[in-house]
Amino acid sequence: MGKQDYPITVLIFISSYAFWKGLSNPKHIITASILVGLALLTKINAAFLYLFFALWLVVAWRKELKKRLLYILALIAVPPALFVLLWPWLWHHPVARLLGYFIRLKNHGPIPVYYLGQIYYGNTPWHYPFLLTVVTLPCMILLAAGYYGMAGRKRGIDCFLILSALIPVAAIAFFSPCKNDGVRLFLPAFPFIGMMASLGIYEYFRRYTHTKLAVCAIISCLSIVFAVGRYHRYQECYFNELVAVSHTETAFETEYETCAYQEIVPWLNERPYSKVYVPVMGDQLMIHKALGTLSPAFECSAYKDADYVVILAREGSFDEVAWSYYFSNETPVFAIKEGNGIPILGVYKK
């Protein structure tokens, strides 16, 4: 995950909580306005939250707009004001720099991604965020959230949660110039899906017998254990039981993060003067050198000069060399594998 993804997820969630409280106690709208401003500063995709809140507030207070105009203006004005006031870089030539910032966002370099057996160098198809959500969240959460959506009491909070979960995914699917790099761009949807799942479980508890509850709990636990067994090491936090059962691992990127590089550091330190070609995110391996855990003598080299080839199984970043080694019958001299036997990282003698 990027350094902004977890903070923006937390800020969007607590902003939403403050906003919902503010519908009944308008003083909380001020708190929500400040939190939305901080969210915008953290990552610009909070703008979708900003628009959603503004529309919801106008609809919710449509019969008393004049009475609560001050709070509506606060929600509209405070977030963009904080965005400018708390970002010193914008203070000098604010209009020009703000325009430049949005132009850079529009022209943001795409991250290549491997999806449904194909590498996309630009945007993935619109269904990428929806399908990645389905194959990453645990099935128990998906089923419970779906049950809540169908069996909920259809109150205002129900619609608010459903829209809060849907908007981050739909925004990336239909409006974002970037739809890639796993679930991190629509991660803010997940806490709301989790809340829907919790309420769905509550509704199920309220309606069914203890025997049915026990059976559901056992099945859920076994499915999670099975998925973790298939994806131990690193992928236990990514793909869920659906991928583990259907054997569709090759339809998605095997590894999104670079955590596996930490396990190769001791092996490389034993060969500090070997020339190594690292075609996939080699800069992330060099971080270990900057931290002092990897020998100062280590250097990445071009393929023609290399003694070894190190391949992290992030297929979207593969070049021809990586593809040829990854699918060859050659046995790596060092390897890290998932529980299902699929290699996450391999070192091959050239």
Residues 153-194 have pLDDT tens digits of: 667 888 899 999 999 999 888 887 677 778 888 999 999 999
Residues facing 312 on adjacent strands = 345
Residue 37 confidence class, pLDDT cut points 50, 70, 90: very high
Instruction: Please list the alpha-helical segments (H only) found in 293-344.
Output: 320-326
For residue 237, is pLDDT > 60?
A: no
- DSSP letter for 336, please: E
Rounded Cα distance, 141 and 83, in Å: 35
For residue 6, is pLDDT > 90?
A: no
Which has the minimum average pLDDT: 21-35, 116-130, 170-184, 278-292?
Answer: 170-184
pLDDT (0 to 100) of residue 297: 86
The average pLDDT across 219-239 equals 66
Residues 39-78 have pLDDT tens digits of: 999 988 888 888 899 888 888 888 887 788 888 888 889 9
Residues 125-162 have pLDDT tens digits of: 999 999 999 988 888 889 889 888 887 666 788 889 99
Question: Considering the chain, what percentage of its residues have pLDDT values greater than 70?
Answer: 89
Instruction: Please list the alpha-helical segments (H only) found in the chain.
Output: 5-24, 27-42, 47-60, 69-85, 94-106, 128-136, 139-151, 156-174, 190-207, 210-230, 241-246, 261-269, 282-291, 320-326
Q: Which two tokens stand for residue 289?
A: 């050198």
Sheet strands side by side (includes 343-349)? 276-277, 308-312, 343-349, 334-337
Rounded Cα distance, 131 and 141, in Å: 15
Instruction: Count CA atoms closer than 13 A to 68's CA, side-chain side.
Output: 22
For residue 105, is pLDDT > 80?
A: no
Name the pTM for this structure: 0.83
The average pLDDT across 227-255 equals 69
